[in-house]
Structure 1
């Protein structure tokens, strides 16, 4: 494997990471390892299982981390949102994820940033509204990369 360790998120994974950068990669993205290596360099990476809800998987994994500076999410998307595992994150589905997203704050430094990467990921009015609400709920800056 390349510069990062790809960790498959499952019920047996109990590692508490010391990394300050974490990358979540949706399994639907064909070029996951290459993209993560090129964009994020030396980071811990976790694959998002395509058969389960992605926000739930991210929230579960983040509970094992503290003081993250950067959180990258690599996924397929569309102008108004993201596909994460078998779930979809849009302004319309955001209400179902309010509490899990607020929990992300516990894993990140106040100065942390979340970066959303992928094809056709979030643009236009509804997409930008989603980014603003994600930033509000998580308490950190959110950018589309």
Structure 2
């Protein structure tokens, strides 16, 4: 069962929002943030007065956020926590790392094992690969993330 957890699509059935293979979905969240799930993706949402949290269970999302709330917008993957300050960015969770591509605006990357709890600031046009230990600048992908 443990080995099959990544191979089976069980997250699709238990997630708050999900897409099947070949399907994409656009959603407007309660705070006005726009979220697009790419094909074969799944997320859980936790929105209340204390937090605005999107947990990416599998796949890729495109987030359009603005400074509409004093509570930060957070995207969590198994490799780190991404704080959308403003703008537009994609988060793609892969087996060994998470790829962050900032289309516009700024995103703070909080890696779980960053020394002293420091975060990395990603700016418009930057791509990062984040794993359990570090966040490193990635070569740009062959196409525009947006």
Greater Rg over alpha carbons, structure: 2
Give the number of the structure whose residues are more often helix, by fraction: 1
Q: Which has the higher contact order (CA 8 A, sep 6+)?
A: 1
**Is the shorter-chain TM-score for this pair beyond 0.5, marking a shared fold?**
no
Relative to its length, the structure with more strand (as a share) is 2
For normalisation by structure 1, the TM-score amounts to: 0.35
